[in-house]
């Protein structure tokens, strides 16, 4: 089982201004930020690969386990227990979106086996927090909830073994390749694919420009389309939802174009003339990159997240701009009133004027 980092998918590779530390927060002993990029710590086992489930853009992956493949295989089986002893390497590889999607897509309640984890550990807290957030979201959009199991898992397995589908055959389909079934073994078995720091070369830079929606969001999107639509839509505090956001742009926006050019998923976009900022909340993975790069701090999280977005997604226009051609250079620019001269030409004019005045002073002219 190897841990792989697709550096081109990391928002830190997209901009040196990114402040994302989600992988480090999830696996502080195994992942560090070095030269502004995530780096595997040498000589450290990768603690349960919690970074895989934590990364908003799915930059981390495991060689022998795919959460996407697991999602479909699990639903096809009759097993409704998600356990490090039978079908996942660790519960932490599943993100909140996977958990919500599993609960929504399953007719039967899903049980998450926490019995392998030390309740005092950081990993337990992390997994519990994800389950809590998933259940919080579920309580607003459906009658389903995820259940947890803290007892010895054998008890649950006994019950499961009465199911027609055998655990063994399920495992055979679950892409685990029989490598390991228990977290302790998993921790020992997992190793970083390359224990090294990453650098940006030209092949990475060309990949960074590609917009990519993570699989977990595609799964959530598809699951929501098939789910029963609630009679009313709740609005919850923005800080209670960690994986998606709604935004607005204030009057300080200069239309510098950076946020919508670098948004990794295409949640922020514009038209051909760059005369507006569009936003699709269902494409936003709350990576915070747009906020980190916005120099005038003009893009903000909307107060209150509306669950209506889940069922009736909308593209909103956050800002519109008047685009005119510069009278000096002829290039299009964002016109904010006054002379029809683009900022670059204005700066050049100011510099020319400064040099001209200096020259006059040196000649003793007033
Ligand atoms: S985008 Fe993913 S890999 Fe990059 S810093 Fe954030 S969590 Fe880590
Ligand atoms: S919101 Fe900020 S980053 Fe985006 S175009 Fe406006 S000024 Fe630039
Ligand atoms: S809109 Fe901002 S927070 Fe959302 S995915 Fe794009 S860059 Fe990340």
Q: Could you report the per-residue pLDDT of 308-361, keeping only the tens digit for each? A: 999 999 999 999 999 999 999 999 999 988 889 998 899 988 888 888 888 888
- pLDDT-wise least confident of 95-99, 110-114, 157-161: 157-161
The per-residue pLDDT for range 228-277, each reduced to its tens digit, is 999 999 999 999 999 999 999 999 999 999 999 999 999 999 999 999 99
On average, the pLDDT of the chain sits at 85
Establish whether residue 342 lines the binding site of ligand 2, counting it when its CB lies within 6 angstroms of any ligand atom. Answer: no
* pLDDT tens track for 41-78: 765 555 567 899 999 999 999 888 999 999 999 998 98
| pLDDT tens per residue across span 117-128 | 999 999 999 999
Residues sharing a CB contact under 8 Å with residue 240, sequence separation 6 or more, in sequence order: 133, 136, 305
At 280-311, the pLDDT tens digits run 999 999 999 999 999 999 999 999 999 999 99
Give residue 330's region: left, alpha or beta (phi > 0; psi -120 to 50): left
Report the relative pairing of strands 81-82 and 2-5 from DSSP bridges: unpaired
Q: Sheet holding 276-280: strands in order across?
A: 268-269, 276-280, 315-320
Higher-confidence residue of 178 and 134: namely: 134
Residues flanking ligand 1, CB < 6 Å? 10-12, 20, 22-23, 38, 54-57, 59
Distance from C-alpha of 276 to C-alpha of 279, rounded to nearest angstrom: 10
Q: What is the pTM of this model?
A: 0.84
Q: How far is CA 351 from the centre of its chain?
A: 43
- Residue 40's pLDDT is 79
More confident residue, 55 or 184: 55
* Cα 307 to averaged position of ligand 2 atoms, centre (Å): 26
Q: What is the pLDDT of residue 133?
A: 97
**167 or 330: whose pLDDT is higher?**
330
Residue to mutate (ligand 3; options 59, 269, 284; most atoms within 8 A of CB): 284
Mutational test site, ligand 1, from 16, 24, 59, 208, max ligand atoms within 8 Å of CB: 59
pLDDT digit string, tens, across residues 200-241? 677 767 777 788 899 999 999 989 988 999 999 999 999 999
Q: Whose CA is nearest to atom 7 of ligand 2?
A: 253
Taking only the tens place, the pLDDT of each residue in 14-51 is 999 999 999 999 988 888 899 899 987 765 555 567 89
In CATH terms, is domain 229-320 a member of 3.30.70.20? yes
Candidates 15, 288, 289, 299: which one to mutate for ligand 3, based on the most atoms within 8 Å of Cβ? Answer: 289
> Which ligand places an atom closest to the C-alpha of 255?
2
Residue 132's pLDDT is 97
Predicted confidence at residue 164, as pLDDT, reads 42
Where do the domains of the chain lie?
Answer: 2-192, 229-320, 323-362
pLDDT at 158 (0 to 100): 54
């Amino acid at each position: 089982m190897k841990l792989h980092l697709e550096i081109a998918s990391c928002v830190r590779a997209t901009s040196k201004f990114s402040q994302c530390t989600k992988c480090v927060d999830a696996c502080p002993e195994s992942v560090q930020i070095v030269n502004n990029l995530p780096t595997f710590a040498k000589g450290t086992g990768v603690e349960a690969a919690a970074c895989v489930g934590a990364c908003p853009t799915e930059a981390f992956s495991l060689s022998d386990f795919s959460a996407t493949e697991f999602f479909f295989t699990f639903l096809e089986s009759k097993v409704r227990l998600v356990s490090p002893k039978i079908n996942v390497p660790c519960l932490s590889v599943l993100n909140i979106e996977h958990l919500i999607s599993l609960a929504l897509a399953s007719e039967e309640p899903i049980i998450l086996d926490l019995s392998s984890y030390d309740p005092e550990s950081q990993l337990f807290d992390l997994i519990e927090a994800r389950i809590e957030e998933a259940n919080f979201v579920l309580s607003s959009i459906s009658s389903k909830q995820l259940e947890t199991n803290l007892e010895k898992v054998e008890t649950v397995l006994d019950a499961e073994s009465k199911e027609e589908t055998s655990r063994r055959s399920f495992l055979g389909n679950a892409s685990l390749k029989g490598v390991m079934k228990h977290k302790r073994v998993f921790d020992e078995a997992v190793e970083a694919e390359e224990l090294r720091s990453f650098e940006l070369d030209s092949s990475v830079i060309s990949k960074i420009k590609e917009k990519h929606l993570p699989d977990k969001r595609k799964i959530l999107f598809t699951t929501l389309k098939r789910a029963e639509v609630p009679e009313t839509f709740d609005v919850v505090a923005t800080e209670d939802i960690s994986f998606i956001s709604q935004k607005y742009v204030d009057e300080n926006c200069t239309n510098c174009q950076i946020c919508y050019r670098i948004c990794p998923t295409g949640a922020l976009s514009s038209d051909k003339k760059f005369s507006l900022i569009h936003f699709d909340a269902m494409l936003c993975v709350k990576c915070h990159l747009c906020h980190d790069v916005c120099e005038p701090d003009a893009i903000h999280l909307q107060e209150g997240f509306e669950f209506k977005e889940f069922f009736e997604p909308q593209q909103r226009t956050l800002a519109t701009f008047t685009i005119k051609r510069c009278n000096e250079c002829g290039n299009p620019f964002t016109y904010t009133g006054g002379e029809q001269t683009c900022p670059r030409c204005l700066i050049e004019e100011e510099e020319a004027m400064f040099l001209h005045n200096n020259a006059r002073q040196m000649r003793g002219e007033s």
